[in-house]
Amino acid sequence: MPNILKNISLKSLNTFGLDCKAQYFVEINAIEEMRELVANPLFQSQRILILGGGSNILLTQDFEGLVIKNNISGIELVEENAEHFWVKVGAGEVWHNFVMHSIEKQWAGIENLALIPGTVGAAPMQNIGAYGVEIKDVFWQLEALNLSTREIEIFDHAACAFGYRESVFKHSKKGQYMICRVGFKLNKGVHLHLEYGAILETLKSMHIVEPSIKDVASAVIAIRQSKLPDPKKIGNSGSFFKNPVVPTALYSKLKAAYPDMPAYIQDDQLVKIPAGWLIEQAGWKGKRLGEIGVHDKQALVLVNYGAGKGNDLVKLAQDIQHSVLEKFGVTLHPEVNII
Ligand code: EPU
């Protein structure tokens, strides 16, 4: 039976670095341990929080219940053919380590997702993405433990219902499963996605003409390091809000008033607007309120300078939402889970 601890600080287990405690805390290293835990009366009677890398949560108070840290490890090549590699990865593996391992093995497809904080198990939950690639583009299937039946279920691509920072695990299946292993279909042939953001520019400044997947990862790492704070130094959880998707009519009105507004056309009815731009225009970029603030190089990132409190970050997020709504008529929705 895994060892259940009491009153454990979660400070080092959430990238905001918020000092909240778990009433009960347990680390899981194998699916069998999780099965045993699910059968334990404590599990049955408590609120449950499953933690991956803690990079997408905002803790506002001590967690009265059981926090489970998923440490299931392992990266296994299960099959390959002329075009693809099928790889299964333990949910507890650190996402960036898996990306770097893939690059070493010449498994292509996730090089644009270098340096995203968090674990492999959390990645499909919110369909992580960056620089024109989302995990759904390379997803094969995942194995999840049904917390009621204690059976492993396989979710294929369709069953995950991926959307922009969305999956079924944030909606109809929320809280019902623990993701144990994630399968990816990676490429032998290299199809680079260089068109997004500053990738080409960065490769050029690195004097790279024919980039390898390693070069692309290096460019992505350089861009991310230039804009996003390192959670080891300044607490943060990456983008705090999702980029809002608005009707074309509202977009046209805003574009007329703000011709420089960047935007990504989704289809003939919807347009995605960068929340970072909206927040910056509303005057929040680089604003510091004591121990918390808005990052000075990317306004979509809220930061904890050290002794910040979760509730203060929630209040700041609400103030930002209000001012963006007032100025632009656009509602921002958090990407981060507030607990
Ligand atoms: N912008 C501003 N001011 C800012 C921030 C951004 O004007 O303070 C403008 C930029 O100039 C650019 C546009 O907004 O024209 C987009 O900015 P950026 O390329 O930095 O990306 P983003 O839309 O803010 C998204 C993801 C990031 C991902 C990047 C790169 C979301 C919510 N965020 O950010 O993902 O790394 O694109 O692909 O979709 C995350 O989810 O935690 C995350 C970091």
- d(CA 245, CA 259) in angstroms, rounded, equals 18
Average pLDDT taken over every residue of the chain:
96
Helices (H), 46-189: 95-105, 157-160
State the pLDDT at residue 197: 79
| 249-275 pLDDT, tens digit each | 999 999 999 999 999 999 999 999 999
3 state DSSP class of 185 = strand
Give the mean pLDDT of 229-235: 96
Instruction: Give CA separation, 140 vs 76, 268, 285, 293, in Å.
Output: 14, 30, 39, 39
Residue 98: which residues within 8 A CB-CB, separation 6 or more?
75, 89, 110, 120
Return the closest-CA partner of residue 285 out of 296, 275, 293, 277: 296
Amino acid at 128: I
State the pLDDT at residue 65: 97
- d(CA 248, CA 228) in angstroms, rounded, equals 30
Counting atoms of ligand 1 from 1, which one is nearest the CA of 262? 15
Asked whether the predicted pLDDT for residue 156 surpasses 80, the reply is yes
| 296-339 pLDDT, tens digit each | 999 999 999 999 999 999 999 999 999 999 999 999 999 999 99
Q: Does domain 235-338 have CATH number 3.40.50.300?
A: no
Classify domain 75-187 at the CATH class level. Answer: alpha beta
State the pLDDT at residue 196: 87
Contact 60, 314 (CB under 8 A): yes
Domain spans, the chain: 5-70, 75-187, 235-338
Please state the separation of Cα 331 from the chain's center in Å.
Answer: 21
Q: How far is the CA of 274 from the centre of ligand 1 (A)?
A: 6
3 state DSSP class of 242 = coil
**Which residue would you say has higher pLDDT here, 249 or 1?**
249
Q: Which residue out of 221, 300, 328 has the highest number of ligand 1 atoms within 8 Å of its CB and is therefore the one to mutate?
A: 300
Number of C-beta neighbours around residue 64 at 10 A: 11
Asked whether the predicted pLDDT for residue 2 surpasses 90, the reply is no
Give the mean pLDDT of 233-262: 97
Half-sphere exposure of 14 (CA within 13 A, CB side): 34
Contact 149, 177 (CB under 8 A): no
State the pLDDT at residue 192: 95
Q: How far is the CA of 170 from the centre of ligand 1 (A)?
A: 22
Q: Which two tokens stand for residue 114?
A: 């270098």
Give the mean pLDDT of 164-187: 96
Asked whether the predicted pLDDT for residue 1 surpasses 80, the reply is no
Give the mean pLDDT of 214-230: 97
Give the mean pLDDT of 111-139: 97
Return the closest-CA partner of residue 192 out of 103, 282, 298: 103
Minimal-distance CA residue to ligand 1 atom 24: 276
131 lines ligand 1 (CB under 6 A): yes
Counting atoms of ligand 1 from 1, which one is nearest the CA of 279? 8
Contact 241, 334 (CB under 8 A): yes
Would you state the CATH architecture of domain 5-70? 2-Layer Sandwich (3.30)
